[in-house]
Each structure stands twice: as C-alpha cells, then as structure tokens.
Chains A and B, each alone.
Chain A
Amino acid sequence: MSSAVVSTHYISEKVARVRWLPEALQQSERFVTGSWDMDKNFVRLWKLQSNQHVSATGGDDVEQIPRCMDKVAMEDDVTAVEFVDNNTLAVSCADGHLSLMNVQRAVEEDQVQRVARSGQLHCFQRSQEPAPCTDIAIYGTDIATTGEDGCVNIVSAENIRLVKRTIEADSMALFSLCYVSQQELVAANRMGVVRMLDARLATEAQPNIGLMLPCRDDKSSNFVSSITTHPSQQHILLCGSEEGTITVWDLRNLEYPASYISAHDSPVNEIGFHRQDTTKLFTASETGEVWMWSENRAYGGDANWKDGNSPWLSGDRVRALINVEGVITGTRKAMNSFDVHGSRLVCGGDTEAVYIVDNIA
C-alpha cells in the first residue's frame, strides 16, 4: 500500500454517491458524483485531466485532476447512483423519484443528460408526501428502489415510468437494498432486519424470511447502513451496520450469521467488493475512513475456497484470513461513497471533496 497515492480535490459539494463510468478494457477516467444537502443538488460528470500546474520539480504534485464536464440539476438530494449499462445511470432522489441519465463520452466535452424520470415511486400513505428514496439495486435491466415508506419498487430500465412490481416490504423505513439473484432481493430496515424478497411475488405472497442483525447491546437498535453480496458467490451477503460492524450471512443457512466482524466505530456508509478482483472488499465509514479488506493469500489461497466456501464465512477465523488496511484515514467527516475500478479508487463525502487513490493494491 505504500505506493498508493491519495489526491484530494475540493468540489464545493457534499458527495452522496460516486461511481466510475464502466470501461471494459481500460482504466476508467471518468466518474459521476451526486450531491446532497446543498441549495441545489447536481449529478456531475468528471473527467481526469492532466494537471496543467505541475511544477518543474515534480515532487508531491498531482498528475491528474478531475474537471467537471457536465451536470444535471436534481430536484432534491441525490441518494444513490448506479450504472445500468455502460452509458446509462440510474439516480435516485430524496423526492421519491428515479431518473435515468445518459452519458456521452467524447474527446473534448463529455455530456450527461437526463433521459427519463419515473413517477412518484415512494410516498407516505397517509399524507401522500413524497418519501425519500434511499437506495437502488440493479440486476440486468431491472432497477429496484427502496424508500423510507418501506416499499420496494421494481422498474425496467426500458421504461421507468411503468412500475413492474411494488412490494410493501416493511412497515419501517428501509435503508438499503441488494439483489441476490434475478428473483431475490434483500432489503434492510432501520431496526436491523434484513428481509428476503421475491421479485416475482406480490406483497401478500412474500416469504416471511427475515434476518436480525446482531447488536452489541440487545436493547438498542443497529440499522443496516449498507449491504452487498459477493460478486461471484452470491450466497454470501455482507451487511455493514450502524455500529460499524460487518455481519456476513451464508444465505444457504439462515439460522445464524456466518461471521461477525468489528470494523469501524461508526456507521459503515458503503460496503463493496472490487469490481474485478473479488478477493478485495472496501468499506467507507461515517468517521471518514476507507478500509481495504483483502484475503490473506498465505492461508492456502483460492484452492481452499472451492465448493462455495469463502474466508468471509469462516466465523471467528475471519480476522486471521483477511487483512485490513486503511486506504483513507483521518478525514473525520463522513465518507459517504466510494468506487473502485482497476487500480484506482475514488471516494467522497461530507468533506466536500473527492479523493482519488492511485495504485491501490
């Protein structure tokens, strides 16, 4: 990690989400950010450009700086941003709407445009006031959204105005959402209950399966702040919690969590595996840390983890099998989101800056 270079760029916006533009064959040079808690919130498209101000001596100078290429004004806080395909991104907003945007890569000026906006996907039943959309999950062209109203809506990227299915999943605010397979979704609420949902079934027919997040103190709540599945072994579900712990479930055995790891000392705002290298997991916390968790090769490497086993499922031994390193520490203000592509990590949060880490691992 000694070779990792962190550069900080202040962008005058609190960053809610940040995502690299997907690139198949090369290192991505562009990323999008969504802002929150500003007078006007934007989805911005950034491109890394070589620094004009590199001094002759070199030294600590940053080689590449992001420049804002284009922006789209949003109605309210951006709550989640995910790519549906290489050029299309889904953006959820705190006014309960979902937007689809199209990105055009160009040599000079890239562009981002809103191509569609959904109807009111989330609202509170009694007052009919909009409920903030809290997270989105994508599988193929299906986009699922959750909101504080406890509903999960599934729309297709081809026509986001048409809601394919609405599941009243919970009577409490849902905070995060993740696809396990094309049919199965998991949604987590503020009390720490992770519910398994079937995208094919209506509310009444939903299987009543819930997982309760373990909590340090039995009498207090511990919400699921972020959730992800292992990219190649989708039965492994990882939940980051309000207390800063990571709970791993093996979805083939729901009786008890497979592993429980104490990590940060504040909510884990985002958790996710490296897109290409699945031996690496990253977490970002409310106190401004980004950590990298990598499988310890010394313990036999991949060979041992056949038959769907994984070091993440090894209970108390996880700590021995997984190394933790701090990628970013000491920013003290919430790190809301990160994304890794190739050897580069970008993250951002309430410091109103984006951090670009080169040569990661």
Chain B
Amino acid sequence: MSDSSVPVFELGDPLSTLGTNTVTGVFVPGNKIALSAYRHVKHNSRDEPTETAGEAPVLIYMTQETTLFDEPVLRSILAEANATFVTLQQLGLEASRAKYVNISRAYRSIVRASLEKLHLAKMSPEVQTDEKRLQRFTDAIIVFYAAECLWHLFEILYVQNNQMVVRQLLEWARFHSPQTEDRATDLVLMEEEASEADDYWSILKSLILLGQVDFVRAMLSQNRKAGQPAFRAAELILKSMPVYQEGYALQKFNSQWEHWHVDTQRKITANVFATEPELEQLLKLVAGDNKEWDAGIMESQDWYEYLPGYLLFTKPTCKPYELRIAASNWLNRWTLLRPDKQLTNMSRMVTQLMEHDIKLFIFEAQKLNDTHWFSTHLIDLIYHSGQLKSYFDQHNIDLPALRHSMIYEYGSYLMGSHNLWQLGIDYLDCCKQEGKATIELLLPRIPIRSERLATKLISLARQRGLVSVEEEICKVLAKRSYDNQRYSNALEWAIRSKDVRLVTAIADHILKHCSETGKLLCGDTLTYIGGRMFASPRLVFLTKYHEFHQFYHNRDFLVASELLVNLLESKITPNYFWPSLIMDALPLLESRDPKIFAKETITILHQIETALVPIIEQNKEKHGHDHTAALLKDYRAENIADIMNFMRLACARNLARALIFENTVK
C-alpha cells in the first residue's frame, strides 16, 4: 500500500535490448497491453532492413494487470457487491437515510464475510504450502481490511448523519483493534484469577484508552481487592459517568458531565487511590490527564487508535464538524511524540476522512489494489445518498460525471475480464449510451465455447435491444458450423442472424451439393423450417424443392408435378440449378399416364425458352462453348445441350399425350 512501489516486471526480449532498440506498447481491448521491440524511425533514417531482419523473431507480449479477483474466494465480493449495487440503483436518489445506511452496511458485511472466508482459506494446507498464493491472500486481507475500516468510518461520518459521533467512533475503534478485547474476554472468564495475570493492568489500561468502560468495570469488579474503598470509589466513578443519549438536552448533559469530571479530578487529587497506583493511573486517564494520555500515545500503533477513547473522556459530545479540529490536534500531538513513525496510507486516509478532505480521500482510495472496487461503490453510494452534494459543489467536482466515469471504468474492466462479464454488464447498463456502446463492443468479444453460452449472450443482447450484437454472434456461429460441414446448424444460425446473403450462400451450397450428387442435405431441418424459409428467396426455393423431393419420394406424383411446375415458373430458380430441375421433370413428362397437363407443359416450354435459353446464351458468350457444359450440369447429365434436347422432346411427347388425354370424352 505504499506509493513508491511501482509495479515492475521484466521482459526478457533480446531484440528490445539490441543497439538503440527499446520497447513499445499498445493498449488492446480487455485491459491488456501488447509489448514489442521498437526502434525509432525518423524522417531522415535510412530506409533499409534492420540488421536482425529475418534472424531474430519479433515477439509480441501480451501483458495484463494481475488482480486479486483471480482468487475464487474473492469472486463473491464482486458478485455480492454487484447485487447490492443494483439494489442501490433501484433505490434511486430519493430514499430515506436509513435505506442508504442499510446499503452501506450491506457492502461492509460483504467485505467482512469475505475477510472471514479469506482467513479460513489462508489457513488451509493448500494455501499454506503455496507461497505465491499465501502472499496473495495476505495482500487481499490487508486491502479488504483497509476497505472495511475506511468504509465503516465513512459510514459513521457521512452516511449515518449523526449529531454526536463519539459512540460510533468507539464502536469503530473497538472493531479494528480486537486483540485487546479478546484478551479482556479471557481475563473476565478467569474471574478472580485474572488479578494475578501479568498483563492484567496493561489490558485494563488499553481498554480505557479504547473507551471500553463496561469491560473495565467488569474486570475491576472481579479483582480480589474489589471490596476495598479505592476500588469501590473507582467503580462509583465509572458507573456514574454520564452517557449522552440522543434527544437529551445538551446543556443539562454538559453540566452533569462537568460536575462528574470535576468530582473525579478532585478525588484523584485527594489521593483516594493513592494505595493503588495502577488504579490511580486508570482514573487519571478517565479524568483526561495529559501526561497519562501521552504515555498511551507512545504505545499506540496508529495515530487514530486511541482518539475515540480520548474524546469519550474529554469531549463526549463531539459533533462531526468538531471532530475535524480534535483529530488534527490529536494527530499533531501524536507526530510530536512519535516523530520516528511514518504515517501509513491507511492512517492518511483516516485523517482525510476525519478532516473532511473527501477529495483527497477519493484520490487515495483509487490507489487501493482492488481494481477500484472500493472507490467505485463508495462514490456510487455518495452520489445516491446525496449527503455530500454541497461539498462537491463547493469544490467544483462534478459528482455525477465522476461516478459515471468510475462505474464505466469498473464495468468495462469486469466486462473485459474472463468470466466476469455477467457482472460487468450491470455496471455498464448504468452508463447510458456510452455503456450501451461498450456492451455492444465487448459482448461479441466473449469467446463462445458452447451454444448454451451463445444463447445466453443473445438473450442479454436482446434484452438491451442490441440487434447487431445478436446478429453478429449468430453469424459467427453459422460460419463456424458451416466450416464444420454442419449445414443444418449453419442454416439455422444464419436464419437467426437475418443475414440474407449468408442464408443464400448456405442454401446455395446445399443445392449445388444436390445437383452434383443427387443427395439433399439437411432434410430433417427443411421439413420443419416453416415460415423461417422466407429469410432468403433461395431458401424458399430450397425448401420447396425439398418438398417436391418428399412428394416424389412418396410417389405422390401429381402433387410433386404441380410443385415442380410452380418451381419452374417461380423465377427464383438459381441458374446453376436449371439442369437438375429439368432432369427431375423428365421422368414426370415421360410418364405413360400424363402427370402434367397440356397447359402446364406449355408453361414449362415457355419458361425454358424465356429463362433458361438466355442463360445458356449468356454463358456461351462469356465462356465459349466448352465451358457451358461444366457450368450448367447435373450429376445425371453432363451436357446442357443434351439436357435441352431431352427436355424439348419430352415436352413434345407429353404435350401430345396430355392433349389426347384431356380431350378424350369419357
């Protein structure tokens, strides 16, 4: 958590260290940087191949920021916070204060629960033996402990909107130095024996410094000498200490407190506790004796550790705006006494919160190594609760814009990270057009490993009205299936993609395959294609042709012939398929009992002459006589000229038969 530790990593690329070479990097979508060797070329550099051309390979390295969230345990922070984040968005800007406090608590409880999980996981043998993971866990615990601590303080000072803060601050300090309390609990459980414990008095002193009066009383009452006057007097002082309660008249309380304070000091000076020096020390602390508190400061870890305790005994009615002065005074005192101690980042951030320097606090919060989890969610809460609106206005900070950009960054980070996209999309949803555009960019980039995943992506895109994304995904899958020779699958994806050309291309392939081999692929799909065939005229043709095939196959020749005639005059027949269609018509035309009526036969002839003949002519012009055979052919007949001859002959015969048949009076 220190500023000076800039992340450094080594790139063992020989090319980049050669001569004047250096390294260049480009940002790649998905929070990556592509690094490669680079040589600066100026307008006057000579245009020639480098000396290493063709020898040393140019390597491109992809780098990505490591994050704590690679650890599965921590994923729940992201997932759970995501749910809370969305709840807050639904709450809007106008909810009651209590609701925002609840949200704030929800965030903190997420972190606390995860800290607990982290501690447990850290103890597990698989982590203990893996040094790298152990370090990761330690880092994560530090980061999230800090996040919780700061969030808690923030909640007390800026979300709860308390009139008095000392009670809450005590609670805060108590939670963040649990060792003393744990030891005190042990001692209380030991009952009388506790008085002999070596650390009995030092624990008592720490408890007083932390303002834990109730604990102190419990421990004192168990002392062997509890019956003695000095102890009884101490108990009386602690018991009678006035405690401010919300709604109590402040003036009245102040006078009561003043009276109690003076009384305590008087008792100390009257040497009531002279027989018990340790006890006297405690009570001096209670009376706010500066010398004793200075001694306390010398033992504290962080500057803020004993501040709430000090306030309890010297200024119990401290208001949030008074805290600023009290805190800076206390900090000055601490630095004077402990000049050797450097302030940690966390201590600085606590100071900033207490001194109402939110701007700097947010700036520092972004340096936490949590990929902005803390700062993003906090800013969002600040924005919604509206508590600090005037502060931001005064400091000329555009809070909505700040929130927007942080959520946007965080969302696109999640969206770009492997398997966190479902969480990221919610954040981007809050970012209006910009978010939508980013979703549109990033959603199709998610690698599709299974069709189930694809349907999920499509469903997400559909909910947001991102038609282009849906179509793009379908197109990719259609292409993929096509390459895999899974034409039914490709066809269905193509229909979903609503890309007419793609559907046509696949239908073309199926038709061409049919005219080359006589086998119609995808029969089972074409049977059920129904209204979807209108995706492309070619598909309509294919479907109808398939239908014809089915009827023909089932020896339902009359219906089949009708369909075939329809196809022939439909004007959607692809050029290359004419020979096959005609070859299919031949047996029907040559059938002994006419299947095709005279009128329809004429139609067929008409179509051949008006549609097919021009195509043949065109082909001849383009490719000369030889090529026509190759272009227009069917597996049953190679030469188009033969086909035409057969056809004309068949038509003539059928016409003759049909005319006789139709005009015979039965």
Report how far A352 CA is from B114 CA in the complex, Å: 14
Q: Quick one: which of B76, B422, B486, B531 contacts A219, CB cutoff 8 A?
A: B531
Point out the residues of chain A lying under 8 angstroms from B495, CB to CB.
220-221
User: Per-residue CB proximity of B474-486 to A under 8 Å, as 1/0?
Assistant: 0000000000111
Q: Is B245 close to A, CB under 8 A?
A: no
Q: Quick one: which of A11, A14, A129, A134 contacts B419, CB cutoff 8 A?
A: A14
User: Per-residue CB proximity of B403-427 to A under 8 Å, as 1/0?
Assistant: 0000000000000001100100010
Report how far A287 CA is from B418 CA in the complex, Å: 21
Point out the residues of chain A lying under 8 angstroms from B492, CB to CB.
172, 190-191, 221
Point out the residues of chain A lying under 8 angstroms from B529, CB to CB.
191
Report how far A331 CA is from B409 CA in the complex, Å: 24
Known contacts: A94-B449, A171-B524, A191-B528. The answer to whether A10 contacts B485 by CB under 8 A is no
Point out the residues of chain B lying under 8 angstroms from A190, CB to CB.
451, 489, 492
Q: Quick one: which of B72, B75, B485 contacts A126, CB cutoff 8 A?
A: B485
Q: Is A286 close to B, CB under 8 A?
A: yes
Point out the residues of chain B lying under 8 angstroms from A223, CB to CB.
455
Q: Is A39 close to B, CB under 8 A?
A: yes
| B531 and A193 contacting across the interface, CB-CB below 8 Å | no
User: Per-residue CB proximity of A269-298 to B under 8 Å, as 1/0?
Assistant: 000000000000000001100000000000
| A220 and B496 contacting across the interface, CB-CB below 8 Å | yes
Q: Is A62 close to B, CB under 8 A?
A: no
| Distance from B619 Cβ to chain A, minimum over Cβ atoms (Å) | 33
| A351 and B455 contacting across the interface, CB-CB below 8 Å | no
User: Per-residue CB proximity of A66-85 to B under 8 Å, as 1/0?
Assistant: 00000000000101000000
Known contacts: A77-B449, A334-B456. The answer to whether A352 contacts B487 by CB under 8 A is no
Known contacts: A191-B528, A223-B455. The answer to whether A37 contacts B419 by CB under 8 A is yes
Main secondary structure on chain A at its contact with chain B? Answer: loop
Q: Is A343 close to B, CB under 8 A?
A: no
Q: Is A257 close to B, CB under 8 A?
A: no
Q: B426's closest neighbor in chain A, by CB?
A: A332
Point out the residues of chain B lying under 8 angstroms from A350, CB to CB.
422, 456
CB within 8 Å of B: which A319-356 residues: 331-334, 350-353
Q: Is B525 close to A, CB under 8 A?
A: yes
| Distance from B653 Cβ to chain A, minimum over Cβ atoms (Å) | 36
Point out the residues of chain A lying under 8 angstroms from B532, CB to CB.
191, 218-221
Q: Is A267 close to B, CB under 8 A?
A: yes
Report how far A124 CA is from B484 CA in the complex, Å: 7
Q: Quick one: which of B72, B79, B527 contacts A351, CB cutoff 8 A?
A: B79
Report how far A227 CA is from B123 CA in the complex, Å: 44
User: Per-residue CB proximity of A7-20 to B under 8 Å, as 1/0?
Assistant: 00011111000000
Q: Total A-B pairs in contact (CB under 8 Å)?
A: 124
CB within 8 Å of A: which B441-457 residues: 449-453, 455-456
Q: Is A266 close to B, CB under 8 A?
A: yes
Report how far A223 CA is from B528 CA in the complex, Å: 13
Q: Is A125 close to B, CB under 8 A?
A: yes
Known contacts: A12-B76, A39-B418. The answer to whether A191 contacts B525 by CB under 8 A is yes
| B419 and A10 contacting across the interface, CB-CB below 8 Å | no
| A172 and B488 contacting across the interface, CB-CB below 8 Å | yes
Residue from the set A12, A125, A266 with the largest chain B CB neighbour count within 10 Å:
A12
| B456 and A12 contacting across the interface, CB-CB below 8 Å | no
Report how far A225 CA is from B459 CA in the complex, Å: 12
Q: B532's closest neighbor in chain A, by CB?
A: A219
| B451 and A266 contacting across the interface, CB-CB below 8 Å | no
Q: Is A202 close to B, CB under 8 A?
A: no
Known contacts: A171-B487, A266-B463. The answer to whether A212 contacts B530 by CB under 8 A is yes
| B535 and A219 contacting across the interface, CB-CB below 8 Å | yes
| Distance from B77 Cβ to chain A, minimum over Cβ atoms (Å) | 9
Q: Is B322 close to A, CB under 8 A?
A: no
Q: Is B243 close to A, CB under 8 A?
A: no
| B79 and A352 contacting across the interface, CB-CB below 8 Å | yes
| B534 and A38 contacting across the interface, CB-CB below 8 Å | no
| A212 and B459 contacting across the interface, CB-CB below 8 Å | no
Q: B110's closest neighbor in chain A, by CB?
A: A10
Q: Is B295 close to A, CB under 8 A?
A: no
| Distance from A41 Cβ to chain B, minimum over Cβ atoms (Å) | 11
Report how far A39 CA is from B426 CA in the complex, Å: 22
Point out the residues of chain B lying under 8 angstroms from A212, CB to CB.
528, 530
| B452 and A170 contacting across the interface, CB-CB below 8 Å | no
Point out the residues of chain B lying under 8 angstroms from A38, CB to CB.
72, 419
Q: Is B437 close to A, CB under 8 A?
A: no
Known contacts: A77-B449, A127-B484, A219-B535. The answer to whether A171 contacts B459 by CB under 8 A is no
Q: Is B214 close to A, CB under 8 A?
A: no
| B452 and A134 contacting across the interface, CB-CB below 8 Å | yes
Report how far A172 CA is from B79 CA in the complex, Å: 35
Q: Is B80 close to A, CB under 8 A?
A: yes
Q: Quick one: which of B451, B496, B525, B528 contacts A148, CB cutoff 8 A?
A: B451
Q: Is A43 close to B, CB under 8 A?
A: no
Q: Is B1 close to A, CB under 8 A?
A: no
Q: A349's closest neighbor in chain B, by CB?
A: B422
CB within 8 Å of A: which B65-96 residues: 70, 72-76, 79-80, 83, 86
| Distance from B67 Cβ to chain A, minimum over Cβ atoms (Å) | 13
User: Per-residue CB proximity of A121-135 to B under 8 Å, as 1/0?
Assistant: 000111101001010
| B83 and A351 contacting across the interface, CB-CB below 8 Å | yes
| Distance from A148 Cβ to chain B, minimum over Cβ atoms (Å) | 6
Q: B90's closest neighbor in chain A, by CB?
A: A330
CB within 8 Å of A: which B43-64 residues: none
Report how far A340 CA is from B527 CA in the complex, Å: 38
| A267 and B459 contacting across the interface, CB-CB below 8 Å | yes
Q: A129's closest neighbor in chain B, by CB?
A: B484
Q: A267's closest neighbor in chain B, by CB?
A: B459
Q: Is A210 close to B, CB under 8 A?
A: yes
| Distance from B652 Cβ to chain A, minimum over Cβ atoms (Å) | 39
| B535 and A352 contacting across the interface, CB-CB below 8 Å | no
Report how far A351 CA is from B425 CA in the complex, Å: 12
CB within 8 Å of A: which B600-658 residues: none
| Distance from A271 Cβ to chain B, minimum over Cβ atoms (Å) | 16
| B525 and A286 contacting across the interface, CB-CB below 8 Å | no
User: Per-residue CB proximity of B517-537 to A under 8 Å, as 1/0?
Assistant: 000011011011111101100
Q: Quick one: which of B76, B426, B450, B455 contacts A132, CB cutoff 8 A?
A: B450
Point out the residues of chain B lying under 8 angstroms from A193, CB to CB.
524-525, 528
Report how far A79 CA is from B529 CA in the complex, Å: 28
Point out the residues of chain A lying under 8 angstroms from B487, CB to CB.
171
Known contacts: A193-B528, A351-B83. The answer to whether A37 contacts B451 by CB under 8 A is no
Known contacts: A126-B484, A221-B496. The answer to whether A94 contacts B76 by CB under 8 A is no
| B459 and A286 contacting across the interface, CB-CB below 8 Å | yes
Q: B419's closest neighbor in chain A, by CB?
A: A37
13 sampled A-B residue pairs with Cβ under 8 A: A10-B79, A12-B72, A12-B75, A38-B72, A77-B450, A132-B452, A171-B486, A171-B522, A172-B525, A191-B528, A221-B495, A266-B463, A333-B422
Q: Please provide the 6 A-B residue pairs with the shortest distance between their CB atoms, ordered closest to farther.
A: A218-B531, A171-B488, A10-B76, A352-B79, A12-B75, A132-B450
> Can you add 14 more A-B contacts, CB < 8 Å, to A37-B419, A171-B525, A175-B452?
A12-B75, A127-B484, A129-B484, A171-B521, A172-B489, A172-B525, A190-B451, A218-B531, A221-B495, A223-B455, A242-B455, A331-B83, A334-B422, A334-B456
Residues in A lying within 8 Å of B, measured CB to CB: 10-14, 37-39, 77, 79, 94, 124-127, 129, 132, 134, 148-150, 170-173, 175, 190-193, 210, 212, 218-221, 223, 225, 242, 266-267, 286-287, 331-334, 350-353
